[in-house]
């Protein structure tokens, strides 16, 4: 593993975010010398060597609807579990939904088939986790865990903050079975949020403009009361942890919805700070030597300080994890492609569609890599950090979210990035295909679109 001591992460403060200052031919020649051809999982050896003894590996994606991002992350994940002893996977998903996968793969669920668990992802965008690629990974994890002791089984968890109502339901169900006397705080939180159930967070945020009466006190008391009593619960420690996490989700979801009034970076930062807090809780729960694999969009795992997100005051889990655990213990792997097809919606809550993703725009990171020729490439970015051509120039780097319109490709789908500072490695796929959804219909009540880049 190449030591990162002395590498300074710079903020992209109002830099010229185009490639016009980069000598293209020289850039392509440098990339050609750096790139490694990737065809099979065994070709990932250089990445495994680069990861070394790191505790946190974050695997990105340039869209939430691309088959190859999911399958290559699965291949990397399997090797990390089998060869390097990683303990759990944490993803950009809701805690209650992902916890069902966690219990299934550990052999503690009523469902007997992975697909029956995955079909329970009903929040839009359903295809993000309700897809055949995740079914396959879930089945593999179930088989891998089969003969392991309970304390050694691989876990699967959600990092996101959106599941306010599902989390409140899980808390109430747990307390009804375990400690009915403690239900009062949960019921007060339910009653406070109940007028806003139809549109969940959006109607709650709107109400505060008219009557600034929040539910903050109720969710603070809910978490506080549960933590006071949790030491007396003589049950499955992971279920106790999960219920506490649901209370934390409720607390941070209320902050998130309330921050919608502020605009700007506030809601984004609350969300990613919640993800980082959840990661820290999970690593502590799994012990001093715990190792975590994170699946999230590039906009979350790629260090925000190496993008123009920093100009807006935005942070993300990649930046926060590097600060918390140190550069040597965190490896960030970005993903991208030049052209292909993708699953997305044309607006928030719109039906999912398979869309054609056009060729990357001229001068973008993806277009530069396309000049290397067809085929998958892996770039280890330590050497590029030493190259002023790449380490001091921000290049447009594609980011497609769950909301996507190919007609506006060049206007809103590129994040100016100093790529070698944003990631430690980059996986490039020249031509990609849409992933394979389970065609699960979304629930009636959905979150509003508050993601940057439609993500």
Summarised one tens digit per residue, pLDDT across range 194-230 is: 888 766 567 777 777 766 778 999 999 999 999 999 9
In this structure, what DSSP letter does residue 349 have?
T
CA pair distance 66, 366, nearest whole angstrom: 15
CATH code reported for the domain at 24-158+291-454: 3.40.1660.10
Least confident of 97-101, 159-163, 252-256, 447-451: 447-451
**H-helix or E-strand spanning residue 78:** helix 67-84
Q: Averaged over 393-407, what is the pLDDT? A: 94
Contact 117, 81 (CB under 8 A): no
Torsion of CA 130, 399, 429, 156, to 10 degrees: -40
Question: What pLDDT was estimated at residue 263?
Answer: 73
193: left (phi > 0), else alpha (psi -120 to 50), else beta?
Answer: alpha
Give φ, ψ of 89 to 5 degrees.
Answer: -110, 135
Region 14-29 average pLDDT: 65
Q: Shortest CA distance to 83 belongs to which of 263, 291, 281?
A: 291
pLDDT of residue 454: 38
Q: Are 213 and 177 in contact (CB under 8 A)?
A: no
Percent of residues in the chain assigned helix, strand, coil, to nearest 5 = 50, 15, 35
All CATH 3.40.1660.10 domain ranges of the chain, comma separated, are 24-158+291-454
Predicted confidence at residue 410, as pLDDT, reads 75
At 354, which helix (H) or strand (E)?
strand 353-357
- Give the model's confidence band at 1: pLDDT under 50 very low, under 70 low, under 90 confident, else very high: very low
Q: What is the model's pLDDT at position 326?
A: 97
Tell me the whole-structure pTM to 2 decimals.
0.92
Residues whose CB falls within 8 Å of the CB of residue 105, separated by 6 or more in sequence, listed in order? 138, 141, 142, 145, 153, 154, 155, 156
* Structure confidence at residue 453 (pLDDT): 35
> pLDDT tens for residues 319-372?
999 999 999 999 999 999 999 999 999 998 899 999 999 999 999 999 999 999
Residues, the chain: 455
């Amino acid at each position: 593993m190449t030591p990162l001591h002395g590498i300074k992460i710079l903020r992209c403060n109002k830099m010229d975010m185009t490639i016009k200052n980069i000598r293209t031919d020289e850039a392509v020649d440098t990339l050609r010398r750096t790139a490694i051809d990737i065809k099979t999982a065994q070709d990932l050896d250089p990445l495994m060597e680069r990861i070394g003894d790191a505790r946190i590996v974050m695997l990105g994606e340039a869209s939430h609807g691309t088959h190859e991002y999911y399958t290559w992350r699965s291949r990397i994940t399997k090797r990390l579990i089998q060869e390097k002893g990683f303990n759990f996977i944490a993803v950009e998903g809701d805690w209650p939904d992902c916890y069902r996968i966690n219990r299934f793969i550990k052999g503690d669920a009523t469902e007997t088939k992975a697909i029956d668990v995955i079909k329970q992802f009903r929040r839009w965008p359903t295809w993000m986790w309700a897809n055949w690629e995740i079914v396959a990974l879930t089945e593999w994890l179930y088989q891998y865990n089969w003969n392991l002791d309970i304390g050694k089984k691989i876990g699967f968890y959600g990092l996101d903050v959106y599941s306010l109502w599902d989390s409140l339901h899980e808390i109430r169900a747990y307390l009804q079975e375990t400690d009915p006397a403690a239900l009062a705080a949960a019921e007060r939180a339910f009653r406070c949020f109940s007028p806003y159930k139809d549109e969940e967070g959006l109607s709650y945020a709107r109400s505060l403009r008219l009557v600034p009466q929040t539910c903050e006190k109720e969710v603070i008391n809910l978490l506080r009361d549960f933590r006071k009593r949790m030491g007396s619960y003589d049950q499955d420690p992971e279920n106790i942890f999960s219920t506490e996490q649901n209370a934390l989700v409720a607390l941070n979801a209320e902050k998130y919805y309330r921050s919608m009034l502020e605009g700007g970076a506030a809601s984004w930062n609350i969300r990613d700070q919640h993800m980082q807090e959840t990661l820290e809780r999970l690593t502590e729960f799994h012990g001093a030597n715990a190792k975590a694999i994170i699946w999230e969009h590039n906009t979350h795992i790629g260090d925000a300080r190496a993008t123009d997100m920093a100009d807006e005051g935005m942070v993300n889990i990649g930046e926060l994890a590097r600060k918390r655990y140190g550069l040597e213990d965190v490896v960030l792997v970005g993903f991208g492609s030049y052209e292909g097809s993708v699953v997305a919606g044309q607006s928030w809550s719109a039906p999912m569609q398979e869309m054609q993703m056009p060729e990357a725009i001229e001068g973008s990171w993806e277009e530069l890599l396309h000049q290397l020729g067809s085929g998958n490439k892996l770039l280890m970015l330590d050497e590029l950090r030493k190259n002023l051509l790449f380490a001091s120039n921000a290049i447009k780097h594609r980011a497609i979210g769950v909301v996507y319109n190919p007609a506006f490709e060049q206007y809103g789908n590129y994040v100016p990035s100093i790529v070698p500072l944003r990631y430690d490695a980059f996986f490039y796929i020249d031509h990609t295909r849409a992933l394979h959804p389970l065609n699960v219909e979304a629930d009636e009540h959905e979150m509003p679109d508050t993601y940057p880049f439609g993500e």
